[in-house]
Amino acid sequence: MMNTSEHSYIREYWEDIQSGRTIVGYYVKKQMERLIKELDDPKYKIDLAESEKRIKFIEKECRHSEAPFAGKPFLLMTFQKAIIEALFSIKCYNEELDRYVRKYQELLLVISRKSGKALDIKTKIPTPYGWRTMADLQVGNYVFAVDGTPAEIITTSEVKTDHKCYKVTFEDHSEIIADAEHLWTVVIKDRQGFSNITTEKMALNFKHKRVDGKGIEYKYRVPINAPVEYSPKELPINPYMLGVWLGDGESSGARISCGFNDLEEMTRLINSVGEIITSVKKDKTCLRMNIKMLCHKLRKLNLLNNKHIPGIYLQSSVEQRLELLKGLMDTDGTCGKSGECEFTQKNKSVVDGFIELLSSLGIKCSVRTKIPKINGKECAMVYRVTFFTDKQFPCFKLRRKFERLKPLLNKRMKNKSIVNIELTESVPVKCIGIDHPSQLYLAGERFTATHNTPLASAMALSEWVCGEMGN
């Protein structure tokens, strides 16, 4: 029960509703009636100091990021203060803990039509426990922030319909459908640092002809993610060894092809990960190595005559995924004089997994197809995946390939351009808020960084500073 001499934003908002100054829907009104009863109920402890310090922090330390209020203080409206008060001030006694705790541990933030920063509910979202869709996500779940760390979802909106929607296409050919008000954190050409801007505003001027007339120039670029931090996994085959087999292994067995000049180094690399080469046979064009017990392990993973990258490998630790990448690139990869890396494969399933692997490691890539010819005769189509990385984050172990990598990537490679924004049919959309200072989470099959809802961001930051972590 609260002290009647203290000012309550819940009461203030309720008075606005009762007087007709504020019009709300049926469900908001019912919730407000419930909150008013709880303020007067002696079984609850009302600690307004808890909400007040968060409100003061947001209004003093947080700033709007978008025009026309960019840089101005984040002054909360009465309903926003009432939300914070309900979440942090109303406490009930927990007998097991022998103390008062917040009654409301989760918040579903219902936002009016023009206030959402939302994505198509079918958007695939990478999470620490595998792929989900935006529709699946709930408060308390975790997604990945732009720095690759897991970030807790602290608010979600309801699913909204009839929003103006755009399809946003990036230079890696990935696409995301977002509503007009969705925020993106971007590098803008000829400006320093990052800015926040809505989909609709970007759509007005995202590209223009180059001054020299040679092609198109794109104005906005989003940041590339750091490698996402899945937990380490117990893997039945060493990830480097699996990568080598996927690249140059016999689909139906454990034999692996190897060039004559690479035999000594490949033998050392395979032995270094605990695998044993039982025999090496010379063929017309290469050498064939047999690996002890590999065929048995491949069969258990359902990989014989079914080459693909198993999900447990794609969602293993950064170190394990990097080892897998090196195995794939030491066999089916090349590095040109410019430092551009290329992975070539006929198997679409392997290519799809390879693209996900690169994206999860924060490496952007492009994919092209080619129909090669031998003696003038067309062969099966191959996929060519091209990308850049450097010696600080190498994709090779073989020395001759490693030496061709760039010493350090240009900063331009740390972002990817938005190459098209077009109106599309309206689809159901939803937004989330995460507990992370960057306010950026990853969405889509290429792990694209995008913004969460501003009020949620401000609340998350206030809790990080004013809550238990800050204390």
Instruction: Split the chain (471 residues) into runs of 10 and give each run's mean pLDDT.
Output: 74 89 78 91 91 86 60 75 89 88 74 64 97 94 95 86 95 95 86 82 90 86 95 97 96 92 94 93 89 94 97 98 98 95 96 98 95 78 95 96 94 91 96 84 96 63 54 41
What pLDDT shows up at residue 463?
59
What pLDDT shows up at residue 120?
96
Which residues make beta-bridge pairs with 198? 183
For 338, residues 6+ apart whose C-beta sits below 8 A from its C-beta are none
Residue 322 main-chain phi, psi, to 5 deg? -65, -35
State how far the Cα of 289 lies from the Cα of 394, in Å rounded to an integer. Answer: 25
Residue 87 main-chain phi, psi, to 5 deg? -75, -40
State how far the Cα of 163 lies from the Cα of 182, in Å rounded to an integer. Answer: 11
CA distances from 44 to 2, 53, 92, 266 (A): 8, 20, 5, 69
Q: Are 461 and 155 contacting, i.e. CB atoms less than 8 angstroms apart?
A: no
- 239-388, CATH topology level: Endonuclease I-creI (3.10.28)
CA distances from 124 to 119, 131, 153, 288 (A): 10, 7, 16, 41
What pLDDT shows up at residue 180?
92
Angle at 107 between CA 103 and CA 109, to 5 degrees: 145
Query: Residue 303: what residue type?
Result: L
> In this structure, are strands 432-434 and 150-156 parallel, antiparallel, or unpaired?
antiparallel
What pLDDT shows up at residue 377?
79
Residue with tokens 């401000």: 458
Query: Residue 323: what residue type?
Result: E
What pTM value is reported for the model?
0.75
What pLDDT shows up at residue 455?
58
State how far the Cα of 76 lies from the Cα of 80, in Å rounded to an integer. Answer: 6
428: preceding bond cis by omega (within 30 degrees): no
What pLDDT shows up at residue 193?
76
Q: Looking at the domain that runs over 114-223+414-462, which CATH code has it been given?
A: 2.170.16.10
295 sits in which H/E element: helix 294-300
User: Among residues 54, 46, 52, which one has the least CA distance to residue 468?
Assistant: 54
Region of 314 on the Ramachandran plot (φ > 0 left; ψ -120 to 50 alpha; else beta): alpha
Angle at 438 between CA 432 and CA 441, to 5 degrees: 40
List the domain boundaries for the chain.
Answer: 9-105, 114-223+414-462, 239-388
CA distances from 274 to 38, 241, 265, 269 (A): 64, 9, 15, 9
State how far the Cα of 335 lies from the Cα of 343, in Å rounded to an integer. Answer: 9
State how far the Cα of 97 lies from the Cα of 99, in Å rounded to an integer. Answer: 6
466 sits in which H/E element: helix 454-466
